[in-house]
Structure 1
């Protein structure tokens, strides 16, 4: 019975996912560091850049980056000190604070994206056929929506 448990294909699936993630992070990390960013910094800035008005409520940014309220506050504080992000209050709703990508933040993204995208292509998307990539994206969205339903912005 124990042998069958150890050979469960679900363990293989999770192991491969973890190994792929760790390997991709190892390939991408030098790109982030070259531009003075961490992976979390880049993730937050990318989410802001792809949001309407290049801004998100702090609570939405926390959900999308899987950070606590205090964690996203520290992240935005660090990016604000670097001039890459600023905070804005929402007129008429003093409870809502937004993180907004600054022009310097957008410029830093424009600098890093060619290297970042080339690395993603080399070590991830370029290794898959279009059909494999489409299936992976579909599957990842299903899983993300089930385990992390707050990962999409609320407007």
Structure 2
């Protein structure tokens, strides 16, 4: 059953229509399966979870392959605590190292090592193929364009305009 909180006094909840409920459940089902598919592929082929792969990609695309830990958490949409744990695991593997921030003595940078970059280069072709097979090979070019448009609209609507928003990756 659908539940919703009342946001405006005595206003009745705006229940999903049958079609909206069908689309919502299909979205949840597909994204759960997709995340699991990518995570299993990366674990099998590269020995890392999808979240670690994403962190390595972000660092590989940053200037000098380095980002402030806070910026990396924001970009990855994970808490600083979860990021710290992930970076510690990546440090153990020799794929990332932490450095003190030159401009802020309290801050730290995560830096992608040469070994981490090599691991990423080896993992990328298999990961891209998994994404292509699971998503893009199943869609027409028009569907890909429409899906991109829809996802941008949803993301823009969820992106907080208030810099003081209480978001997990800002904690």
**Same fold flag (TM > 0.5):** yes
Gaps of 5+ in 1: 151-155
Higher helix share: 1
Return the structure number with greater relative CO, CA threshold 8 A, min gap 6: 1
Gaps of 5+ in 2: 3-14, 164-171
Higher strand share: 1
8 Å contact from structure 2 (residues 59, 112) kept in 1: yes
Change (3 A) 1:7 1:143: closer
How far does the alpha carbon of each residue in 1:91-137 deviate from its partner, in whole angstroms, 9 at most, with x for none?
23213311111111111111111111111111111211222112212
RMSD (Å) for aligned C-alpha atoms: 2.2
Change (3 A) 1:146 1:96: farther
Residue in 2 aligned with 1:36?
Answer: 47
Question: For residues 144 and 99 of structure 1, what CA distance do their matches in structure 2 show?
Answer: 26
What is the aligned length?
148
8 Å contact from structure 2 (residues 99, 108) kept in 1: yes
Runs of 4+ in structure 1 deviating by more than 3 angstroms, as ranges, are 5-8
Q: TM-score under structure 2 normalisation?
A: 0.76
Q: Could you say which structure has the larger radius of gyration?
A: 2
Question: For residues 106 and 57 of structure 1, what CA distance do their matches in structure 2 show?
Answer: 18
